[in-house]
A and B are shown apart, each in its own frame.
Chain A
Amino acid sequence: MAFVQNVPFLCIMVSMVSAVISSMVPARIARWWTVFLSALVAALNVWLLTFLLQTNESYTYMMGHFPAPWGNELRVGILEALMTIVFSITILASALGGMDKQQSQISRPKQNLFSVMLDLILAGMISMLYTNDLFTGYVFIEIMTLASCVLIMARQNGRTMVSATRYMIMSLLGSGLITIAITITYSLTGHLLMENIHESMAALHASGEYEVPITVVVGLFFVGIGIKSALFPFHTWLADAYSYSTPSASSILSSVVSKTYIFLLIKILYRTIGFEIIQENRVLQIMFVFGIVAMMAGSIDAIGSNDLRRMCAFSSVAQIGYIYAGMGLKLEAGFVAALYHMLVHSLAKSSMFIAASALSDVSGDSKRFSDLRGAGYRHKMAGVCFSVSAMSIVGIPPLGGFISKLYFGQAAFAYGGAHQWIMLLALAVSSLLNVLYFMRTVITLYRPPRSDFQLPEHRPSRRADIAMCMMTAANLLAGFLAQPIVDLISRGLAMFV
């Protein structure tokens, strides 16, 4: 066994241990350690990815001393490694970009806790991406939920406390559904490891038994994870949580946490239950409908909000809708498009949240559009980064958002029938709505400020600038290198089964 194969395990362990140590060292060191740690995770996973590309096969990694049907396992493939790289870069940028705010907005004794939570989110993210065991997945879902709740309420005011409570309540409902789904899966198949469940599920499916329970399991997993990843009707906790917490918290929540849950759902649908069974299942039709509704409703809410960060939050709801609608097409092409969209959106949203906080800094700490007039001139870098991310999400070529919409459209064409027209129409209308609210924002940023406007005192944050530039560059790169990335995703999906 090559040493590089230990990378996933090492990454999880190092992040967990760092979380413990971060609570004891001075806050400054803990903050920088998180940045360094996510860079380390990204670098190690690049190494792992090159190894996987050479061998061109996935492998399972035994945790502990018990072999397959009993013990716990990690499973490592191209797709998992790629996702880990992108998400850890996103965490790096969010931690770096929000570092100054973290210092000023969080009370002194709580500073370390914030870094601890970031490390835990990193650990949870890596384990959820790599795990091959359903119950381990559940445990890390809970760890991530707890950590994200603390991230939301780290900046203490009434709004964050209420939205953290609301987040917890919704998340716990979701976790309840996920546990009962895991329990039913266990009682149907007698296994917790994904491959073994898949074998039993295939046998059950062939014999035609237990069709209803399997549908129930798929439905429970979908609703549970849908609640946690803020799919449309379950998104009530999201707006306040994203708009009043610290910039690193909102950027990580929107771009890493919700996407990791969706990746776990893809793993459950695609690998655990099995693509053949899923394709015949009605639940994915429902997923498609929910996705389409979310695409519209999120955009409409975004148009109605007069607050920059709230608008970004609602735009996330719409983008999550794209991902679910793509998965609901029940085609491999739909899943590829959804995965690519996850990557692109996580890059764009994180830079957008950091830029939004920099823009409100130069506008007297206000997020209202009326105060933000001319902010693009006062903070040129943030203005440019925000505009590029907005253009990517709207779908202007050659940026990533355009490519993912292209793939969604192609997947819809491949599916044919009524779905094709619904999906294409939804894509068109939703893009139009995106243009409406994002272009309105960009125009506001470059309008001359009100005559009585006085530049407020503010300290520019060089770290936020670096983080923004990094994410914008990554976003551009994801657009230019779309073909290789999509090839990687398809290869990873082929390895998945």
Chain B
Amino acid sequence: MENFWQVMNQHLDEIVAVILFGVGFTTLLLHRNLIKKILGLNIMDTAVYLFLASLGYVEGRTAPILTDGITSAEKYINPVPSGLVLTGIVVSVSVSALMLALTIRLYRRYHTLDFDQITLMMKGEDD
């Protein structure tokens, strides 16, 4: 039991990230409301960024920006995961924007945000 708590404590970030990923994933997959689907998408993406950021962070070190002449790599964190997070944020913003735009389109046409209802209405209409 003690061992379990030790592991929990050591890997808290990763565990939280994976739980959040699961929450986001299931929301995106299963929720009927389109806006909540988009929320789920963002939770899922943020969980991945949390995972990445916690990978790159080392307690007591700082961002690798040379200001006071310290060149030892021991003093700095790994900047690559932070770079990946930034890139990922850009991707997720554009994806969310497109999803929101689609949602507005669908709402204007069908006057509901319930995706199941929209599907039903779509099947009923002639094209």
Contacts and interface: CB of A to CB of B under 8 A. Distances in A.
Interface of A: 70, 135, 138-139, 142, 145-146, 149-150, 153, 157-159, 161-162, 164-165, 168-169, 172-173, 175-176, 179-180, 183, 186-187, 192, 244
A176 B24 contact: yes
B127 A153 contact: no
Contact of A168 (B88, B98, B121): B98
A146 B45 contact: no
28 contacts: A135-B84, A135-B87, A142-B91, A158-B122, A158-B125, A158-B127, A161-B105, A165-B34, A165-B102, A165-B103, A168-B95, A168-B98, A169-B29, A173-B28, A175-B95, A176-B25, A176-B28, A176-B45, A176-B48, A179-B88, A180-B21, A183-B48, A183-B52, A183-B84, A186-B55, A186-B81, A187-B55, A192-B80
B91 to A, nearest CB: 5
Report whether over half of chain B's contact residues are helix, strand or loop; otherwise say mixed.
helix
Contacts of A173: 25, 28-29
A159 B105 CA distance: 12
A179 B98 contact: no
Contacts, number: 84
Contacts of A149: 98, 102
Contacts of B24: 176
B35 to A, nearest CB: 12
Which label, helix, strand, loop or mixed, suits the secondary structure of the A interface?
helix
A70 B83 CA distance: 12
A146 B87 contact: no
Nearest to B88: A179
A244 B115 contact: no
| Chain B: number of interface residues, binned into ranges | 35 or more
A159 B127 contact: yes
B102 A164 contact: yes
B39 interface: no
Contacts of B109: 158, 161
B9 interface: no
Given A135-B87, A173-B29, 11 more contacts: A142-B95, A146-B98, A158-B125, A161-B106, A161-B109, A172-B41, A173-B25, A176-B41, A179-B48, A183-B55, A183-B84
Contacts of B72: none
B115 A183 contact: no
A183 B84 CA distance: 9
Interface string B34-45: 100100010011
A168 B115 CA distance: 13
Which interface residue of A139, A146, A162 has the most chain B CB atoms within 10 A? Answer: A162
Given A139-B87, A158-B125, A192-B80, A146 B94 contact: yes
Contact of B122 (A142, A153, A162, A175): A162
Contact of B118 (A138, A153, A162): A162
Contacts of A138: 91
Contacts of B41: 172, 176
A161 B48 contact: no
Interface string B43-57: 011001001100100
B102 A153 contact: yes
A146 B95 contact: yes
B77 interface: no
Contact of B51 (A139, A161, A180): A180
Nearest to B124: A158
A168 B94 CA distance: 12
A146 B95 CA distance: 7
A139 B25 contact: no
Contact of B119 (A135, A150, A162, A175): A162
A207 B99 CA distance: 45
A153 B119 CA distance: 15
B127 A244 contact: yes
Contacts of B55: 183, 186-187
Contacts of A157: 127
A145 B96 CA distance: 13
By CB atoms of chain B within 10 A, which of A135, A169, A244 has the most? A169
Contacts of B25: 173, 176
Given A168-B99, A183-B48, A176 B21 contact: yes
A183 B87 CA distance: 13
Contacts of B88: 179
Contacts of B84: 135, 183, 186
Nearest to B52: A183
A169 B37 contact: yes
A163 to B, nearest CB: 9
- Residue among A145, A172, A187 having the largest count of chain B Cβ atoms under 10 Å: A172
Contact of A172 (B21, B95, B115, B125): B95
Contacts of B121: 158
Top-9 shortest CB links A-B: A158-B122, A176-B44, A142-B91, A162-B122, A179-B48, A165-B102, A187-B55, A183-B51, A157-B127
